[in-house]
Amino acid sequence: MIKKQILTLCFILCFSTIANTQTNNFLSFDFASFRYDEEKSFLEFYYAIKQPKLKVKTNDSTSYISLTLNINLTDEKNKEILNKKFNLNSNVDTTTKDFYQDLVGVLAYAVPFGSYNLTVTAKDNNSSNFSTFSDTLILKSTNTAKINISDIELASKIIKEDVNQNSLYYKNGLEITPNPNNIYSHNFPILYYYFELYKNEELNNNSCKLQKNITKDKIVIESKIENLNLIQPSVSKAGLLNVSKYQSGKYLLTINILDSLENVIDSSTKEFYIYNNRINNQIAVNSKADNYIKSEFGVLNVEECDYQFKVAKYIATQEELNQYEALKNIEAKRRFLFNFWNKRDSDPTTPENEFREEYKRRENYVTKNFGHRHKPGYKTDRGRVVLLYGIPDRIETRTNESNMKAYEVWSYNAIEGGVYFIFGDTMGISELELLHSTKRGEYFDPNWENRIRIID
């Protein structure tokens, strides 16, 4: 690896939608190796932990999660090469959206070339739950050909400009946020990847080429070749792939180094997975059948169905609004609601519908905070905004400004580079209306103060 750091341990909030595949579904794990020196590889471990799947305990009014992560690496003779244990104790606020975003971490070590057995165990210290990951990995020398290639690291985000060089994800001029489960979807369609090239002998200009292949079921569905002109002994490469056009299933990303006759000099391959329910899938990627009878919607009466759709109408398309309006019987409404939420499931590899659970959490929030006997929370302006965009990052309440009625300023830092909403009590009855917003498509009124100004 060009920039070496023997041990990196970080926990950050990753705002991408990623899934887990290990026991009890709270750990995802991956790894990649890069050049370290003539005898060792720089082995990076990537992991993601779903906070809501851990048990939250409360001590002296403080809620927290507690996790122990153990990484064990043994060679072919079962000799222990690496045995590391880390404890993570973090205070959490289950009412914020940060709690529903993954903790993503990186660990890195210099390890001699060879074949190894890797076992990773993550234990929830507040319960008996645990997640495990095991695999066999081979760390190969990067001095075997005139050009060698490292492993491929898949990422949820790569920043190339205005990078933070103090970030623990900073690597060779880039900030790389790993995606340890290697899953992408129509809601998360940009696959970022990173690899390194190592020149071991002098080359003629354009004597080698770089080939990128995307393969599904042993069939190459996309291939691109470019000339490769290496000047420095080591070069880092980063790219992206829009997977929104691909069907659901397992894919291979292969990077080949070709000579002038297009023979393969060295190669690196990485598996990734796609769930895309906007394309007519030919591969079943989950066991969730369209069986609304066994779902939560199978027991709803007509009034309950109508209420459920009224709460969800803010995220419905015009076509869906028209479809539901045309439904006349209870079974059709139940089936519609089941399919409505099922196709929005951001992580079909898990038994839960995370999107639905998050929306229900928002519904509970607006019912508790904004509803009253004359109007349910979802019908209020603040309720609608929470249901659409989530709980704001910051709420400023202004009640004591002279000649002004009460108002609130809500800030969302991750939307369109930062937006805000202003709600005011125009009628003086403690019900705040939307007065102004910088969010595209929302109500915009730069003179909003006039609506809540108190005139003597």
pLDDT in tens, the chain (456 residues): 554 443 333 333 333 333 333 345 788 999 999 999 999 999 999 999 988 889 999 888 788 999 999 999 999 999 999 999 999 888 888 888 788 888 898 999 999 999 999 999 999 999 988 888 889 999 999 888 889 999 999 999 999 999 998 888 889 999 999 999 999 988 889 999 999 999 987 766 567 899 999 998 888 888 999 888 888 889 999 999 999 888 888 999 999 999 888 889 999 999 999 988 776 444 443 444 446 777 888 889 999 999 999 999 999 999 999 999 999 899 999 999 999 998 888 777 777 788 999 999 999 999 999 988 888 999 999 999 999 999 999 999 998 888 889 999 999 988 888 999 999 998 877 789 999 999 999 999 999 999 988 876
Q: Could you tell me the two tokens for 253?
A: 């990303």
What is the residue whose two structure tokens read 């990995």?
Answer: 137
Q: 3-class DSSP state for residue 274?
A: strand
Q: Could you tell me the two tokens for 69?
A: 């992560």
| Rounded Cα–Cα distance for residues 30 and 175 (Å) | 18
pLDDT of residue 291: 66
pLDDT of residue 20: 35
pLDDT of residue 430: 77
DSSP state of 413: S
Helix (H) / strand (E) containing 342: helix 330-342
> Could you give phi then psi for residue 384, rounded to 5 degrees?
-60, -45
pLDDT of residue 97: 78
pLDDT of residue 275: 87
| Rounded Cα–Cα distance for residues 324 and 315 (Å) | 13
pLDDT of residue 443: 93
Question: Looking at the domain that runs over 12-275, which CATH code has it been given?
Answer: 2.60.40.10
Largest CA distance in the chain: 87
**Cα dist from 289 to 4, 285, 337, whole Å:** 48, 11, 14
pLDDT of residue 204: 65
pLDDT of residue 175: 94
What is the residue whose two structure tokens read 């950050």?
Answer: 12
What is the residue whose two structure tokens read 């991956």?
Answer: 30
Q: 3-class DSSP state for residue 356?
A: helix
Where exactly are the structural domains of the chain?
12-275, 292-451
| Rounded Cα–Cα distance for residues 296 and 430 (Å) | 35
Please say whether the beta carbons of 411 and 438 come within 8 A: no
pLDDT of residue 456: 66
